[in-house]
Amino acid sequence: MKALGMMSGTSCDGVDCVLVDIADVSTPAAIDILGHHHVPFEVELADQLRAPEDLTIAEISALHFRLPEIYAEAARGLSGWEQAEVCGAHGQTLWHAPPSRGDAVASTFQIGSSAVLAARLGLPVVSDFRGADIALGGEGAPISSYAHWFCSPREELPHLVVNFGGIANITWVTEAPEQVLAYDVGPAMMLSDAWARIASSGTLDCDRDGVLSAGGAVVQPLLAEILRHPFLAKKPPKTTGREDFGEAFSQRLGRIVKGEGVKDVAFTLLVATSEILRNAIDADRALDGEPRLVTLTGGGAKNPVLVDLVTQAFPDSRVVVPEDGPFAPSHHEPMAMALLAARTLRGLPSVLPRVTGASRAAILGHVHAPPPRGR
């Protein structure tokens, strides 16, 4: 089955879209990436999405209909997109409050109207992937873990997949799906990106190629402040986001780093991400030994300074950053949305209850049919 997958994550830098060909949606099989297209968000839009608590209801409603126009643009940038049978669109998370957060009501909220997207593409669109899992008592995340298990090379298990998006999440892949573990471990590029914007007065949106962090030294008070965040001590299943590590947390860290060098702060933020990852693996007694393969993906996998830190942290594992295929940094999240959408269209569940804490596996998302073709 050919499917489109779209993802705009917590980095709020734009939308990634892939066209994939799935050999068999019902069992682990090859997923070929037929094309990838990225559409960046305008600065004004990105700033709105990074501070959703400042938006009015009217602004949120407008964004709900504006975003799918950008998503449709991303799809139309792919040669052969019309061959897809379905489109999986994650949407933009404005709020994620899973059961582990302890709010009175567990909830998750993504915007990006599937009705608009279905109308623009003329395809069924699957969206709202997280809600069904939360309805069954799960965290609603991480939802890419099923795709990680589906695509992992069986000859290199256990396989640790590390997604360095705004938040760092891991999937520990084993042969049996019921033994797979996955959860958010803590902040990743969310903090690094915020510092890049601050240090460059808005001219940089990230530490591209490690230009800010290379050659830096650790600022110990900053590292200690990050590592003492209470989320890091929580036991899985657990998820996090801007609710814990967004602008408010960045501003708190900003008071600590006054007078520190730009490179030193940038480097320390990456050291924190690497240490959070290593500490999480060491603390989880459910994980058996060291992974044979560590695959780094997400935007942070493009930062050579972070890749080097993680490689040093896992000396007994083969650490890779794929340049192509389903685990490539720009491919893996939209690929997962395409797979989940394809399975939902076939009535198949795509969540691992042990991962999210749900009472049972759910068929993720709802399907919005396209309007009938005009005569």
pLDDT in tens, 281-290: 999 988 878 9
Shared domain check, 235 and 119: no
Q: CATH code at 282? A: 3.30.420.40
164-168, 239-243, 307-311: least confidently modelled range: 239-243
Shared domain check, 290 and 197: yes
Shared domain check, 287 and 138: no
Positive or negative, the CA dihedral 233, 238, 239, 244 is: negative
Q: Is residue 301 one of the residues assigned to a domain?
A: yes
Shared domain check, 8 and 126: yes
Q: Is residue 190 one of the residues assigned to a domain?
A: yes
Tokens found for residue 201:
């007065």
26 pLDDT more than 90: yes
Shared domain check, 210 and 125: no
Shared domain check, 314 and 170: yes
Shared domain check, 69 and 42: yes
pLDDT in tens, 50-90: 999 999 999 999 999 999 999 999 999 999 999 999 999 99
Residue 66, strand partner residues:
none
Tokens found for residue 366:
């709802």
Domain that holds residue 35: 2-145+330-368
Q: Is residue 305 one of the residues assigned to a domain?
A: yes
Q: Is residue 375 one of the residues assigned to a domain?
A: no
Cβ neighbours of 357 (radius 10 Å): 21
- Look-up of token digits 């049919």: 369
CA distance 36 to 58: 33
Shared domain check, 164 and 84: no
pLDDT in tens, 93-140: 999 999 999 999 999 999 999 999 999 999 999 999 999 999 999 999
Cβ neighbours of 284 (radius 10 Å): 15
248 pLDDT more than 90: no
Q: Is residue 150 one of the residues assigned to a domain?
A: no
Mean pLDDT computed over 186-194: 94
Quick one: which of 22, 76, 15 has its CA closest to 343? Answer: 22
* Boundary of a domain, candidates 320, 342, 359: 320
Whole-number average pLDDT of the chain: 95
pLDDT in tens, 140-177: 999 999 999 999 999 999 999 999 999 999 999 999 98
Shared domain check, 180 and 138: no
Q: What is the 3-state secondary structure (H, E, C) of the chain?
A: CEEEEEECCCCCCEEEEEEEEECCCCCCCCEEEEEEEEEECCHHHHHHHHCHHHCCHHHHHHHHHHHHHHHHHHHHCCCCHHHCCEEEECCEEEEEECHHHCCCCCEEEEECCHHHHHHHHCCCEEECCCHHHHHCCCCCCCCCHHHHHHHCCHHHCCEEEEEECCEEEEEEECCCHHHCEEEEEEECHHHHHHHHHHHCCCCCCCCHHHCCCCCCCCCHHHHHHHHCCHHHHCCCCCCCCHHHHCHHHHHHHHHHCCCCCHHHHHHHHHHHHHHHHHHHHHHCCCCCCCCCEEEEECHHHHCHHHHHHHHHHCCCCEEECCCCCCCCCCCHHHHHHHHHHHHHHCCCCCCCHHHHCCCCCCCCCEEECCCCCCC
C-alpha of 72 from chain center: 20
Shared domain check, 132 and 57: yes
Tell me, what's the pLDDT at 18? 99
Q: How buried is 322 (Cβ within 10 angstroms: 0-12 exposed, 13-18 middle, 19+ buried)?
A: middle
Q: Is residue 211 one of the residues assigned to a domain?
A: yes
374 pLDDT more than 70: no
CA distance 291 to 173: 9
Model confidence at 369, pLDDT cuts 50, 70, 90, reads very high
Q: Is residue 28 one of the residues assigned to a domain?
A: yes
Higher pLDDT, 34 or 251: 34
Shared domain check, 32 and 88: yes
* Boundary of a domain, candidates 301, 320, 339: 320
Q: Is residue 374 one of the residues assigned to a domain?
A: no
CA distance 61 to 34: 33
Shared domain check, 334 and 311: no
| Number of domains comprising the chain | 2
375 pLDDT more than 60: no
Tell me, what's the pLDDT at 373? 80
